[in-house]
Structure 1
Amino acid sequence: MIKLFITSSCASCRKARRWLQENGLPFNEINIKTSLTKQDLIDILTHTDKGTEDIISTHCELYKQLNLDFTTMKFSEFIKTIETYPLLIKRPIIMDESNIQIGFNEEDIRVFLPQELRTIQRLEILEERWFKEVSNSL
């Protein structure tokens, strides 16, 4: 099952939700502000390559105001900080058993499609490009 971690005010979150719905993919929506759990954070972090560096929004005003250094912070402190300030997390976060996408990227999100559907879409794109090239050469 796909998990979609969002906030309601985030435009990228709405795009991710719409994309999942349009592609008929079932997902569990989790509001970062109200429903994020310690286990969710652990699951997210285990899917990342760089841990907290991948999920913390260092460009947000809140991060700058708090002047935090996650590189020296103990894990328990990190969890408490995110529980207190969940909007420090980048969003949306889209995750299943083996994949994670942080932020919305229309190309990368296709990883959540079943393999056979990705193959069909890839063939359709190649066919469309081929027709354009043939039409342009005539």
Structure 2
Amino acid sequence: MIKLYFTKSSSTCRKAREWLINNKLPFQEINLTKATLSHKEIYHILSLTEAGTDDIISKRAAFFQDIAYNFEDLSLTDAVSMIKQNISLLRIPLIVDDSHIQVGFNEDEVRKFVPRPARKVKKGLLDKKLYEIHLEKLQEQ
């Protein structure tokens, strides 16, 4: 199941939500202003990243700018606890399933959540439409 970690005030989060709905993908919404993430959820999110906390921590977050020590110097356990206590550290939206993560919203990259067979069908339909347009242009000449 896809999980969308979001805040209502973010236009990027609204775009991600709209994209998931338009693509008819079932997902669970987790409002970060109301929800408390478990250590297990945070570890799962981190397990899907390529660069660990660098991928999911917002360097612009007020709390991040206020801390007097280097976040990278924390142990993994301490970093997870810090994220749990200060959820505003997370970049949003976060779109997560069992094996993928999307930090922020990028319409091309988020397609990884569409099952492969559906992506092939959509590509086939697009190829067919492009072929029809090409034929129409040839007939006009």
**Displacement of 1:33:** 2.8
What is the TM-score normalised by the length of structure 2?
Answer: 0.84
CA distance in 1, matches of 2:39, 2:61: 22
Q: Which has the larger radius of gyration?
A: 2
Q: Which residue of 2 aligns with 1:26?
A: 26
Alignment gaps of 5+ in structure 1: none
Counterpart in the other structure of 2:57 = 56
Aligned to 2:48: 47
Counterpart position of 1:2: 2
For the residue of structure 1 that corresponds to 2:59, the secondary structure is coil
Change in 2 beyond 3 A, CA 1:67/1:18: farther
Letter of the structure 1 residue corresponding to residue 30 of structure 2? I
- C-alpha displacement at 1:126, in angstroms? 3.1
Deviation, 1:59, is 2.9
Counterpart position of 1:113: 114
Alpha-carbon shift at residue 6 of structure 1 (Å): 0.9
Q: Unpaired runs of 5+ in structure 2?
A: none
Aligned position for 2:15? 15
Equivalence map 1:93-132=2 (5 Å)? 93-131=94-132
Report sequence identity in percent. Answer: 34
* Aligned residue type for 2:49: T
Partner of 2:28, secondary structure, is: strand
Query: Could you say what the CA RMSD is over the residues aligned between the two structures, in angstroms?
Result: 2.1
**Residue aligned with 1:33, SS:** coil
Distance in structure 2 (CA, Å) of the matches to 1:108 and 1:67: 34
Task: Give 1:102 deviation, angstroms.
Answer: 0.7
Q: Give a deviation string over 1:44-92, Cα, whole Å, max 9, x none.
A: 0011111101101113344223344221012232123212221111111
Where in structure 1 do 4 or more consecutive aligned residues deviate above 6 Å? none
> How far is 1:42 from its partner?
0.7
TM-score, structure 1 normalization? 0.86
Q: Which residue of 2 aligns with 1:83?
A: 84
Q: Residues of 2 paired with 1:68 and 1:61: CA distance?
A: 14
